[in-house]
Structure 1
Amino acid sequence: MRPLEGIRVLEVAMYGFVPSAGAVLADWGADVIKVEHAVTGDPQRGLRQTGTLRVEGDPNPNIEHANRGKRSLGLDMARPEGKEVLLDLVRRADVFLTSFLPGARRRLGIDVDDIRAVKPRIIYARGSALGPRGPEAERGGYDMTAFWARGSSAASATPPGVEGMVSPPAPAYGDTISGTNLAGGIAAALLRRERTGEPSVVDVSLLGSGVWAMGHAVALSLRLGQPFVAPALGAHGSPTNPLSGVYPTADGRYLAFVMLQPAKFWADVCHHIGHPELADDPRFGTAELIAAHTEEAVKILRAVLATRTLAEWTERFATLSGPWAPIQDSLQVGDDAQIRANEYLLPAGELELAASPVQFDVTAPPLGPAPEFAAQTEEILRELGLDWTRIIELKEAGAVT
C-alpha cells in the first residue's frame, strides 16, 4: 500500500509547476482529479516544441511528466452548473491544489474562504510565482523568470564574459523541483491535520524554491558580501584541488572528480590511472602541497585521462574509493545501470518517465500514464452520484466536456 492511498486531491492547475506536485502525490498513491477547462484543457497539452526537441503525435512527454497517474475532468467553472460540480468534488477532497492567480481565484470563487466554506478541514495548497505576500503577490511567472533568473541560478551558472545568461538545463526544471517541494508540504499538512485536526494553507513559490536551491551560495554571498561566480568556460574546477574538476576522455566525453580531501585520495587515483609513481611525488605529498601544485597536477591528469575512453575509465574506476561520475546527457541516463537498478526511470504507458525521487520501503512507485483530456469526466460525475440524464444536461449546458 502506498502512503497516500485513500487521499483525494482536487487539482485546478495548468502548465508544469503545480501539476508536477499532483504527479508526485499520485506516485505516492493519492487519487488526483485534474480539472481542465471544458474546451481548451491544460494549455500544456499543446506544447510540442521544447528547446531543440519537437514531439509529434501522442503520447507527449510535455504533458505526461507532470500529469501521470491522474484522472482528467473537463469542467467550465465559470458556469453555475460547472461550479456546482466543482464544489461537490471539494466536499469529497482532502486537498485542493491550485496554480490560479489570486485575481482568478477570487473571480471564480475558489479562494481559501470559498473552498473552506464548503469543506472546512480541506488542505488548501497554492503554487505561485513570487509568493503569497509582498507587492508582487498578484503577479504570475514561469520557472525561467521566477526560479532561474530571479532566484540567482542564472547569474551563478553564467561564467564571466558570457553575454546574457545560461538557460535552464531542461524544460520545467524549476517547475519540477518546486512541485516536489509543494508535494512535501502537502504531505506534512496532511500529517498535521491527522494529529491536530487543523487544516493548513500550504504555499510554495517558484521564487522561494529558486532561493532554496541556491541557499548554500546565497548564505556564502551574504556572509562575504560577494556574489557566487561560475568558473570560466573550459576551466578545470577548483583552483586548489586537482581532484575536484572535469577531465576530457579519449572519445570526447567527460568525467568529473569531486574528492574534497585530495590528500586522502591522491594515491588511490594515481594507482587507478596507472601511474603509481605520482603517489610518491614530493610535489603532492600533503594537502597543502597539492593545493600549491594544482596547476601541475591538473596538467598531468588531463594528459593521462585523455588516453582512454570513458567506458575504459568507468571499468577501471569501479574500485576507485573517491567520488567521481561520468558527465551524461539526458539520453545517456537511460543506459546508466545504477539508474536502472534503482528504478529511477519507469514505464508509464508507452513512455519511460523519471520516477519522483522518494521511495518507500525500497520500492519505486508504479507510474500510470497521464489521462487524455477529459477522459474520466463521466466516470467522475457518476462517482458524485449524477445520473446520465443530469450528465447529458451538463454537457448540453457546456459545463462539462
Structure 2
Amino acid sequence: MSGPMSGVRVLEVAQWTFVPAAGAVLADWGADVIKIEHPVTGDSQRGLRQLGHVAIEGNRNPVMEHANRGKRSVALDISTPDGHELLMDIARTSDVFLTNFLPDARRRLRIDVDDLRSVNPSVIYARGSAYGPLGSDAGTGGYDMTGFWSRAGGALGSTPSDLDGVVPQPGPAYGDSIGGMTIAGGISAALFERERTGHARVVDISLLGVGVWANGVAINAALVSGQPWVTNPSGANVTPNNPLVGFYRTSDGRFLGLSMLQGYRFFGEFCRRVGVADLAADERFASHELLAANAPEAIAVLREVIGAHPLEHWRKALDGFDGQWAPVQNTVEVAADPQVRANGNVVNVEQDGETFDLAASPVLFDETPLALSPMPEFAANTEELILELGGDWDRVMALKESGTIA
C-alpha cells in the first residue's frame, strides 16, 4: 500500500485494541505491519461476538477490522526457542517494535527493549500501557474504561451533575482509538528523528496520559481553581450565559447542538433563521454584555420555538448559516453523512470480491481518502514471511511440526 509510511516495517506483538489500533493507523499510512498472534488462540478479540447490544453475525468483526485492517498475520509462539528466534529474525528487518505486553511478560518472553536492541540497535521501541512506564502502577494492566475514561476524569466530566450514576464511553474502544492515533503520532516523530540523527527512541503512551490530554482544559481549570469540573444537569442543557451554546430538543425528540462562542455576533441571524426575528431586536439583548446577562430569557424563547419543529425542519432552516451548529447524530447517521463520505472518514474496502465500508483513520494526505485493506485472516501470512526472510519449506514444516507456528 502506498503512503508516507511506505517502506516502514512494524512488528506488532499486541492484543485487544489500544496498541493494535496504532498498527492499523500506520498500515493505513502505508507501513508493512506484521501482527504476531499465538498459533492456538490468536488475538483474543477474534472470538468477540457481542459489542454492547449489537450481536456480531457472519464473518465481519467490527472491532478486529477497526484495529487490524491492512496488516499481515503471523501465527507464532514466541515463548518457544524456535519461535523467539523467528521473532528476532523479523525484528532485524523491522523499523518499529510495537507492544502492549506488561513488563513482567516482556521480560519473561525476552521482548523487552534490550532484547530487541541486541538484534536491531536502531529499532523504535513503542509501548502502550494503561498507566505509563513510571510510578507505582507501571506494571498494572487496564483498559480504556479504567485508564482513559474513569481515572483520567472523562467519565465524571461527561456525567450530568443530576444523574445518579456514571456515563459510559460513547462506544466500544473509544479511548483505545484515540490512544492508537496518539501512539502512531509518537512513532512518526521518533522515525523522523531517527532519519535525521540516527538516534532511536523508546516511545511510551498510556491510556491514562491520553485521557489527561483529552481532558486537559478541564484539568488545567482544576489546577487554577482547585475545583473539579461539574457538568450541566441532564436534558437539553444550554450554557447559562450564552443561548447559542448547548443543546436544544426538537419536536421529534432529536437535538440541535450549538457552539457559537461569539454568541452576540450570530444572535440576530440565528433568531431570524428560527422565526423569532423580533427577539434579536429586544433591548434586553442589545449587546454582548446584555445577552450574557439576560441569556435565560432568550434560552426560554429558543427552547419553545425550536421544540415546535422536527430536526429535519431545522436542517433546512439553518442550511448555509455561518454560525457553528450540528445535528446530534447517531452512529448510523454518522456512517451515512455525506461530509463523512466526502472526506474519506468512512471508505470502501474490498475482500474476496466483495466490498464493505469501514471507518478510516482521520489524516488525509494530499486531500486523498485512504485506501484500506481488510484485516488478515488468522495466520494468513506466516509461511510467506518465513520465505521472505530467507527460510525454506523445510524450516516452515519443522516449525509447524513443533507447534511453533500455525
Tell me the TM-score normalized by structure 2.
0.97
Correspondence list, 1:2-401, <5 A: 2-349=3-350, 350-401=355-406
Q: Does structure 1 conserve the Cα–Cα contact (< 8 Å) formed by 2:236 and 2:248?
A: no
Deviation readout 1:222-279 (Å, 9 max, x if unpaired): 1001000111101522011111011111222111111111111111101111222222
More deviation, 205-214/333-342 = 333-342
CA displacement, residues 311-368 of structure 1 (integer Å, 9 cap, x when unaligned) = 2211221121110000001111122111111111012234322110111111111111
SS at match of 1:245: strand
| d(CA) in 2 for partners of 1:168, 1:63 | 19
SS of the residue corresponding to residue 205 of structure 2 reads strand
Tell me the CA shift for residue 307 of structure 1. 2.4
State which drifts further: 347-356 or 29-38: 347-356
Distance, in Å, in 1 between the alignment partners of 2:89 and 2:335 is 43
Q: Which moved more, 1:326-335 or 1:117-126?
A: 326-335
Answer whether contact 1:174 1:206 (CA < 8 A) is retained: yes
AA in 1 matched with 2:13: V
Give the Cα separation in 1 of the matches to 2:232 and 2:278: 31
Task: Please list every run of 5 or more consecutive structure 2 residues that lacks an aligned counterpart in the other structure.
Answer: none
CA distance in 1, matches of 2:336, 2:35: 33
CA RMSD of aligned residues (A): 1.1
What is the percent sequence identity of the aligned residues? 54
Aligned partner of residue 318 in structure 1, secondary structure: coil
Q: Which deviates the most, 64-73 or 272-281?
A: 272-281
Structure 1 gap segments, 5+ residues each: none
- Structure 1 contact 158–230 (Cα < 8 Å) conserved: yes
The residue type equivalent to 1:145 in the other structure is T
The answer to whether the 8 Å contact 2:238/2:248 transfers is: no
CA contact (8 A) 1:59 1:351 kept: no
- 159-168 or 79-88, which deviates more: 159-168
Decide whether aligned partners of structure 1 residues 236 and 163 sit closer, same or farther in structure 2, where only a CA change above 3 A counts. closer
* Conservation of the 8 A alpha-carbon contact between 2:238 and 2:299: no
- Letter of the aligned partner of 1:362 in structure 2? E
Q: What number of residue pairs does the alignment pair up?
A: 401
Deviations 1:10-48 (A, max 9, x none): 000000000000000000100000000111000011111
What amino acid is aligned across from residue 82 of structure 2 in structure 1?
E
* Counterpart-to-counterpart distance in 2, 1:335 and 1:106: 46
Determine if contact 1:236/1:298 at 8 Å carries over to the other structure. Answer: no
* Contact 1:68–1:348, Cα closer than 8 Å, also in 2: no
Separation in 2 of the partners of 1:306 and 1:162? 23
In 1, the alpha carbon distance for the partners of 2:254 and 2:162 equals: 25
* Distance in 1 between residues matched to 2:393 and 2:138, nearest whole Å: 42
* Per-residue deviation, 1:369: 0.6
